[in-house]
Amino acid sequence: MNCKGFTLIEMMVSMAIFSIMMSGIIAAFHEQLKLHSRQQKVSEMQQNARTAMHFMARELRMAGFDPTGMAGTGIRPVPNRHDAVTVSMDVTGGESDGIDNDGDGVADNRQEEACGDGTTDGANEIITYALKDGKLTRASAGGSPQTLAINIDALDFEYFGLNSQDPLCQNNCHLSIAGATANPDDIRIVQVSIISRSGIGSPAGRFHETDDTIYRNQVGKIILNKQTRPDRIRRLMLSTEIRLRNQGLR
């Protein structure tokens, strides 16, 4: 019978090999964990920006909706700010205005809740979007601003419409913020740009690239310049053009 065991040197060599193998496995596991975390942050960033853009686009399209012609609804740029806007629409109150809004022979039934009543005193009829401390906020009916999206580096509204000084461009004149604020009824189109970031910065590494991008909106204006302060944060920029279908109908 062979009763020989492992020598001390053999045991030490085996433990060293095992330790090296386990170190490699653990390092690979940690790297995959970091990669998964980064991918989650990127996914959250994309969802964050797209959700914010969806809400703003939907409500901007309704700006100026005024079925009775008495509510005075529309879009109101905030003076001297490209990162804030107020929109109003008359979309509630028809169930209690004493009028048969849907023409079914019965006034003030539940089917008329989505009909306007000539005022904008209902919930979600006056809405203000603004960028504050890296958050996109939405305030409804004069209430406190609620956070719609976090980790927002830039929000930009550009206005287009009528310009008596340049009639050749018809409804597509690029309006200054002063002109849009002074004559909001002339606005026909809004271009919205939003830049979202994937949380806090990350240390240097093989999966981390320095962001030194100059971000521009659709008219070429710089809305975020990372060349001056580059970092290792992933960003996503979305931009869309919204035609205000209810503007200019009065």
Query: Would you mind telling me the total number of residues written for the chain in this entry?
Result: 250
Predicted local confidence at residue 98, as pLDDT: 57
Residue 121's CB is within 10 A of a number of other CB atoms, namely 14
Q: In this structure, what are the phi and psi dihedrals at residue 23, rounded to the nearest 5 degrees?
A: -60, -40
Give every CB contact of residue 64 below 8 A, 6+ residues apart in sequence.
Answer: 73, 74, 75, 88, 89, 244, 246, 247, 249
Rounded Cα–Cα distance for residues 84 and 163 (Å): 22
Rounded Cα–Cα distance for residues 203 and 249 (Å): 54
Long-range (24+ apart) CB contacts under 8 A made by 144-148 are 148/51, 148/52, 148/55
Please state the rounded mean pLDDT for residues 33-58: 79
Q: Give percent above pLDDT 70 in the chain.
A: 80
Enumerate the β-bridge partners of residue 76. Answer: 86
Predicted local confidence at residue 102, as pLDDT: 55
Rounded Cα–Cα distance for residues 104 and 42 (Å): 51
Rounded Cα–Cα distance for residues 84 and 49 (Å): 16
Could you tell me where the beta strands, DSSP code E, fall in 69-122? Answer: 75-77, 84-88
Predicted local confidence at residue 96, as pLDDT: 57
pTM beyond 0.85: no
Which tens digits make up the pLDDT trace of 14-36? 888 878 888 888 877 777 777 66
Any idea what DSSP says for residue 95? G
Rounded Cα–Cα distance for residues 250 and 188 (Å): 13
Any idea what DSSP says for residue 190? E
